[in-house]
């Protein structure tokens, strides 16, 4: 509903009022967006960039929002596509990075992250690392469906709309992802 109000304000030319209402929308979606982006990117700086870019794209393209769809589905699709683009860009950048000449470690590193918050400390726990590593081993489609259903707490219907898949296909990918994760995590006990 809030996204529809913002769209109407922009269309009527009341951009200042639309910005104020958009701040409310950002506050409602921020935490969920950070969780989703972090699951894709595993980097605090890239996560912040992806979330900020997604909100900017949403505001600049709010007039193309179709109100018959839930806002979360539209926003999640924009966010996930942005995360995937950032991952591709990072992979290209790291591919062409020259190894450092210092010491024996020749792998490029991301810049150090600032002190983690409570959520990041939880993810950094040993079990959290094991689960994150297991999720990373999933095939791309299973990882995407699992992340949206379990981490972003979206229904299979919402994930179906966000990814352009049938709901049955989403349920199959989710089932296979959970089964595969159980096997991967059983071997780590």
Q: What is the pLDDT of residues 102-121, one digit of tens each?
A: 444 444 455 555 566 665 56
Return d(Cα 21, Cα 6) in angstroms, integer.
Answer: 6
pLDDT at position 182:
86
Token look-up 């860009």 returns 89
Q: Are residues 85 and 144 in the same domain?
A: no
| Residue 162: CATH number of its domain | 1.10.10.10
pLDDT at 21 over 70: yes
Tell whether 109 is covered by a domain: no
Do 183 and 146 lie in a common domain?
yes
pTM of the shown model: 0.60
CA gap 51, 35 in Å, rounded = 10
Q: Is residue 106 domain-resident? A: no
Q: Is residue 101 part of a domain?
A: no
Instruction: Give the domain extent around 66.
Output: 1-96
Q: Are 176 and 149 in contact (CB under 8 A)?
A: no
> How many H-runs (helices) and E-runs (strands) does the chain carry?
9, 0
Residue 123 neighbours by CB under 8 Å, 6+ apart = 38, 129, 132
In this predicted structure, which of 80-89, 116-125, 156-165 has the lowest mean pLDDT?
A: 116-125
For 54, the token pair is 């997604």
**Average pLDDT over all residues of the chain:** 83
Label residues 148-177 b or e (16+ Cβ within 10 Å = b): bbeebebebebbbbbbebeeebbbebbebb
Q: Which pLDDT belongs to residue 189?
A: 62
Distances from the Cα of 121 to the Cα of 46, 114, 125, 126, 129, angstroms: 18, 12, 6, 10, 11
């Amino acid at each position: 509903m809030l996204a529809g109000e913002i769209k109407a304000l922009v269309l009527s030319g009341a951009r200042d009022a639309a910005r104020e209402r958009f701040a409310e929308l950002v506050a409602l979606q921020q935490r969920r967006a950070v969780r989703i982006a972090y699951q894709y990117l595993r980097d605090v700086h890239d996560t912040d960039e992806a979330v900020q870019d997604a909100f900017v794209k949403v505001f600049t393209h709010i007039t193309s929002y179709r109100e018959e769809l839930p806002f979360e589905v539209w926003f999640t699709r924009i966010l996930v596509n942005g995360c995937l683009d950032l991952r591709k860009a990072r992979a290209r950048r790291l591919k062409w990075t020259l190894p450092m000449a210092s010491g024996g470690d020749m792998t490029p590193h991301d810049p150090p992250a600032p002190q983690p918050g409570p959520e990041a400390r939880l993810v950094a726990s040993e079990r959290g690392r094991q689960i994150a590593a297991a999720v990373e081993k999933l095939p791309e489609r299973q990882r995407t469906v699992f992340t949206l259903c379990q981490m972003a707490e979206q229904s299979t219907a919402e994930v179906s709309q966000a990814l352009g898949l049938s709901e049955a296909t989403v349920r199959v990918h989710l089932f296979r992802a959970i089964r595969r994760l159980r096997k991967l995590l059983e071997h780590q006990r």
